[in-house]
Structure formats: C-alpha cells, structure tokens
Structure 1
C-alpha cells in the first residue's frame, strides 16, 4: 500500500510540483470502471491530507457503485490552459485503488463513500525550457521516480 507520504519521501520536489498542479483548481476528473468494464469519467474533488490522497463520493452515485465493485481509479488534475506568458505548470495524473475510510463524525450524508488512494502511479507532463520539448516525470510502484523528455 503506497501513500502520498511515501512519494513525498522518495521524490519530494516532484511530489510538490504534482500537488501544486492538483491544487490549481477544485474540480478534478476521475475515471472508474462500469460493470461492463467500460470507463466512466466524472468530476470530483480530492485532498492531500496527512500524507494521503483522499476523496469522497455521494451515496448512491454511479462512481461510488463503480469503486465498490472495482476499486481501480485514475484521477486527472484540473485542466488549465497554458498562460499567454510565463511557464505552464503542466498537468498531473495519478492512479491506484481506492480504499474505504471511516466517514468524518460531522458527515451529513451517511451513505457517502470516503476513500484514500493506494497509489500505483503518478505522472506530471509539462513543456520544457526552452519550449521545444515535453517533459514527463513519473513515479511508479516498484520503479520509483523517473524523468523523460520527448521532442
């Protein structure tokens, strides 16, 4: 089981950049698997709390049903256009399996799902300097941090 804290220890600068990109907006895009195996894309919020990546889902939502059946999930950071001037922070993705957590004591929705993500991979993609190549930084379970470029 891999927590965000482990990635922060293994590759702290990378983890901070990924967290910053995820924090650029409230709404993230998550992908879950429907009963027939096809993907479902939904909006969601997530938090980086106490060394974990956590998220919640409304009770009886389709995405909650999906992860109760198959816990695999992928999450994409908010999609922001590159600025007219200055550097683009890029986009970030992470994937893994959700694991149920207890609901907060003040949760008004007893049917909601609360989860942490057991992370298997994280990626950050951005335009390099000079802006003639793409930089792909990633972290994978069992392999750790890696940085590649693509012209």
Structure 2
C-alpha cells in the first residue's frame, strides 16, 4: 500500500490527471463493507492534504463504523455526464485501499489547519487517511477506453477496452 506522495512520485503526470478529477467536485462516492459483508455506498468529501488523501464523516456515521470494523474501501470521483462528443469527457478516477483512522489530535490539528478549518467544529467526527492499493483513471479515446492503472507493487500500466 502507498501514500498519495508515492503515487505522485512514481507517476506524476498520471497523478496530476487523477487529482484534477478529484478536485473538480466536492462530493465523491465511497464504498465500504457492512457487518454482513455486503457493500454500502455513501457520499463523502475527500481532500488531498500534503502528501495524503484524507476523508472523514460525521460522528457515528455508518460508513465510519464500517471502516473501523473493516478498513477496505473504494472511492470514486464524481462523474459528469459525457458530452455529445465522448472524447471530450474528462474521465473518472477511482481509488481502493485501506482507511487508517487518525485520532492523534496534533495530526488532526495540522490537517485542519492545512484545509483552513476550525478543529472545534469537528470534535467528534471521524477522519481517515488512505493507504492506497490502486488508483484507476478511465477516459474515452476514440473508439475505446483508456484505462490507466497504478498499483503500489506494479507501478503504472495502461489498458484499452473496446
């Protein structure tokens, strides 16, 4: 698994495109695992702070309880409807990995400060840092999809799908 910094260092152009898609919209979608193993899809805000990808939730939110029990997650950027010209679609980005809950007040204070937030507003909220397994960038290219896949143990690879 890896930090966002490791992704940016090993594949900077790819990471720039992924970050652009993630930063384009405030809300993303996260998949977590319920107690019975079935998937749960939830809206979430995720932000790059320094060298890490962070996300959080309101106190007692089911997605946070899911992540505390089983840290596996998948995170998807907001997708926009493809325009009439599919090649103009900006694409979408996906992450998978493990969520690491951060409870250290000093680390949280630094994250809040970097984001320009008042820590007091989030006293009981849950915050997680992503330990990234893979990042996927999907775009339309002519008559096929270009799928760029980055994995911590394999680096960046490209696939085409018709």
TM-score interval for Structure 1 and Structure 2 normalised by the shorter chain? over 0.9
Q: Distance in 2 between matches of 1:21 and 1:107?
A: 30
Structure 1 gap ranges (5+): none
Distance (Å, rounded) in 1 between the aligned partners of 2:16 and 2:83: 20
Higher helix share: 2
Secondary structure at the aligned position of 1:74 is classed as strand
Question: Structure 2 length as normaliser, TM-score?
Answer: 0.87
CA RMSD across the alignment: 1.4
Does residue 122 (structure 1) correspond to residue 135 (structure 2)? The answer is yes
Match of 1:89 in 2: 90
Secondary structure of 1:5's counterpart equals helix
The Cα offsets for residues 58-105 of structure 1, whole Å up to 9 and x where unpaired, read as 111111110110111100000211233562110110010011223337
- Structure 2 match to 1:98: 99
Report what 2:150 is aligned to.
139
Shift of 1:117: 0.2
2:40 match: 40
State the distance in 1 between where 2:22 and 2:150 align: 16
Partners of 1:81 and 1:146 lie apart in 2 by 26
The aligned counterpart of 1:51 is 51
How far off is 1:139 after superposition?
A: 0.4
Task: Tell me the TM-score normalised to structure 1 length.
Answer: 0.93
